Amino acid sequence: MTGETWFVLAVLIIAIILFVTEWLRVDVVALGVVVVLMLSGVLSTGEALAGFSNSAVLTIASLFIVGGAVLQTGLAGMVGRRVLQVAGNSEMRLIVVLMIAVALLSCFMSDTGTVAVLLPAVIILARSAKIAPSKLLIPLAYGSLLGGAATLIGTPPNIIVSDVLQEQGLRPFSFFSYTPMGLVLIVLGIGYVVIFARRWLPDRRAPLDSQPVATPEELVNLYRLPDNLFRLRVRRESDLVGKTLAAADLRQEFGVTVIDIQRLEEPRARLQLVWGRRREEERPLPTRTSIQPMPDTLIELDDLLIVQGNDQQMTQMSTRWNLAVQPVQDSSHTTSLLNDEVGIVEVIIPPRSSLIGQTIVEAQFGTRYKLSVLGISGPTAKRSLDIKDTKLRFGDIILVQGPWKNILQLKKQRRDFVVMGQPEAMIGAPNRQKALVALLILLGMVVILIFNVMPTAQASMLAALLMVLTGCLSMDEAYQAIDWKSIVLIAGMLPMSTALEKAGLVDIAAHGLVNTLGDIGPLAVLGGLFLLTSLFTQFLSNTATTVIIAPIAIVSARDLGVEPYAFLMAIAIAASMAFATPVASPVNTLVMGAGSYRFTDYMKVGIPLIFIALLAVILVLPLLFPF
């Protein structure tokens, strides 16, 4: 081997070590590979930067935007939860329905996005069925990986190997080229999990799982919140007009909590002009918009303040500020407390919380966390504590109300709070009204790809653009939807395959593989490529693995004098078989904490499934793509 060959091999080995150890971020490693290969002269500037203009990179970036729109509009969650509603309480049925649902969604959007959407719903399902989440979450992750292998856009390796074929002047894989093999793997995977792996999955429950967690609706009734809600209309003569909530300081002075502000969409003067002399009973009710109260929210004339307190507090407050008081009797007004945007949860104060020894006012809870405190109770006695003066202690339970997204932020403050329940399951999609539009654009892209009307890159970029133009997500949200780490990783590793070819390492690896297994036949080489890819993908990114091994498959097929389609399909499928370690795929990592899994749980359940997939590939792929 030449000096250049040894140099490129050293760069590859160092990159693999850094990928496995994660001493540096994977995108930093990929950029480092580009810079080193460019500065060393192994690759020209154009060759080193070619990955950033590669059609596969642009396709994947566009598909991130399409998937982001599907998530942003709530379409994915809607479909997933509807499907899961038929699952019932049987563990076996739950696993089957769950894996089918997640595999179906993963055919058209990212594995990680699919699992992130369904994870809260699955945890709630497990609790309602009295099943440990650990029995369902590995099947959830594995189902998404199997589904991703079933279509062209299901996962980046599928797109990469198709692009490799096109670069070689061969016919690329079509949208459904992966589907027959993918369906076989999905059926085998579900069967394996239900018959065998279900018994090997651990039965672990988080400490709080054994405690009854009240739902938001149950909390409303438990704390008798409707009985403590009042509507206060701000009259023209009220001194509150023009004041902020912080300046009014209603909690400090009267001990009441403003949980919602309902404001006229049009000023009353305009409404009176429109109504004219129409009789009172003929006049339509004025339309109001709900406004989440914040310390800097200005109070306006005719605002309806939805507040929590008792009769005495309401009397004192209405007299001081000249407000019209009206108790909230209609249960429909509890939507001010609980809907897709806002809700209530109980929060426990843990022993190391920084709030211990402070009152809610001293901790500036409302200003810091943008949430309202509706009640405080002690850890032992069911006593109602004074919100204004009570100094918080370990074990105190705080009832908080406000936007779900702010409640979710509390869950990240693990030192200070333990949030009961699953607030992430309650968050409504911000663009739900665009769900149908997103569905039509997604179906249109799929139809274009099925009938090969335009190349994959063009179809995905068009769909991404339409998602933005139709308001399914904003341009800023589109940028946020793209996993830039993955994009940089792919763009940075694609030049590595060029360097491996120029340095002759691809030929060396391919000849070694053919010389070792070629005498047995193409099936042995096919199995060798599958095992090599699946081994690498347990520790490396499936994208990086595909980029490195795909050229070896092309040269191996050329040396054997066979068509490369089965080899490349095997590599793409093996790259999705990331079952044996929690770091093999982001979806495995995503469910690890929620399922209380250990490293060995993935090995025990995942390794047999990899060998089942290997056997299926060896038996079925040659029938679909003859050598």
Question: Which pLDDT tens digit goes with each residue over 222-250?
Answer: 666 666 778 888 888 888 888 888 888 88
Beta strand ranges found along 338-450 (DSSP E): 342-348, 372-377, 384-385, 397-403, 418-419
What CA–CA distance (Å, rounded) separates 585 from 579? 8
Q: What is the pLDDT of residue 360?
A: 85
Q: What is the pLDDT of residue 64?
A: 84
Q: What is the pLDDT of residue 271?
A: 46
**Distances, alpha carbon 570 to alpha carbons 107, 573, 599, in Å:** 18, 5, 26
Q: Based on the number of CB atoms within 10 Å of its own CB, is 290 exposed (0-12), middle (13-18) or buried (19 or more)?
A: middle
Indicate the pLDDT class of residue 205, thresholds 50, 70 and 90. Answer: low
Highest mean pLDDT among 247-251, 423-427, 520-524: 520-524
Across 30-51, average pLDDT: 91
What CA–CA distance (Å, rounded) separates 608 from 596? 21
Mean pLDDT is lowest, of 73-87, 275-289, 405-419, for 275-289
Question: Which pLDDT tens digit goes with each residue over 396-411?
Answer: 888 888 887 788 788 7
What CA–CA distance (Å, rounded) separates 49 from 192? 44
Q: What is the pLDDT of residue 423?
A: 63
Q: At 568, which amino acid appears? A: L
Question: Which pLDDT tens digit goes with each residue over 453-500?
Answer: 898 889 999 999 999 999 998 898 899 888 888 788 888 888 888 888
- Torsion, Cα 155 159 160 166, to 10 degrees, reads 170
Is 94 in contact with 129 (CB distance < 8 Å)?
Answer: yes
**DSSP letter for each residue of 110-154:** -HHHHHHHHHHHHHHHHHHTT--GGGTHHHHHHHHHHHHTTSTTS
Is 294 in contact with 370 (CB distance < 8 Å)?
Answer: yes
Highest mean pLDDT among 32-46, 47-61, 580-594: 32-46
Domain with CATH 3.30.70.1450 in the chain: 216-336, 342-420
Across 501-513, average pLDDT: 84
Architecture label for domain 342-420 = 2-Layer Sandwich (3.30)
Q: Based on the number of CB atoms within 10 Å of its own CB, is 312 exposed (0-12), middle (13-18) or buried (19 or more)?
A: exposed
Nearest to 401 by CA among 427, 421, 420, 375: 375
Query: What contacts 34, CB < 8 A, 6 or more positions away?
Result: 48, 49, 51, 492, 495
Mean pLDDT estimate for the chain: 82
Highest mean pLDDT among 126-135, 264-273, 454-463: 454-463
Q: What is the pLDDT of residue 274?
A: 47
Is 534 in contact with 612 (CB distance < 8 Å)?
Answer: no
Specify the residue for token string 């274009």: 448
Indicate the pLDDT class of residue 509, thresholds 50, 70 and 90. Answer: confident
C-alpha dihedral sign at 228, 371, 590, 543: positive
Q: What share of the chain is helix, strand, coil (3-state, %, to 5)?
A: 60, 10, 30
The yes-or-no verdict on residue 330 having pLDDT over 60 is no
Higher pLDDT, 458 or 264: 458
Across 88-101, average pLDDT: 87
Which CATH number is correct for 216-336, 3.30.1380.20, 3.40.30.10, 3.50.30.10, 3.30.70.1450? Answer: 3.30.70.1450
Ramachandran sector of residue 411 (left: φ over 0; alpha: ψ -120 to 50; beta: rest): alpha
Q: Which long-range contacts (CB under 8 A, 24 or more apart) does 165-170 make?
A: 165/564, 165/565, 165/568, 168/554, 168/564, 170/564, 170/565
The yes-or-no verdict on residue 339 having pLDDT over 80 is no
Across 171-183, average pLDDT: 93
Is 508 in contact with 545 (CB distance < 8 Å)?
Answer: no
What CA–CA distance (Å, rounded) separates 48 from 71? 34
Indicate the pLDDT class of residue 207, thresholds 50, 70 and 90. Answer: very low
Highest mean pLDDT among 158-162, 427-431, 513-517, 534-538: 158-162
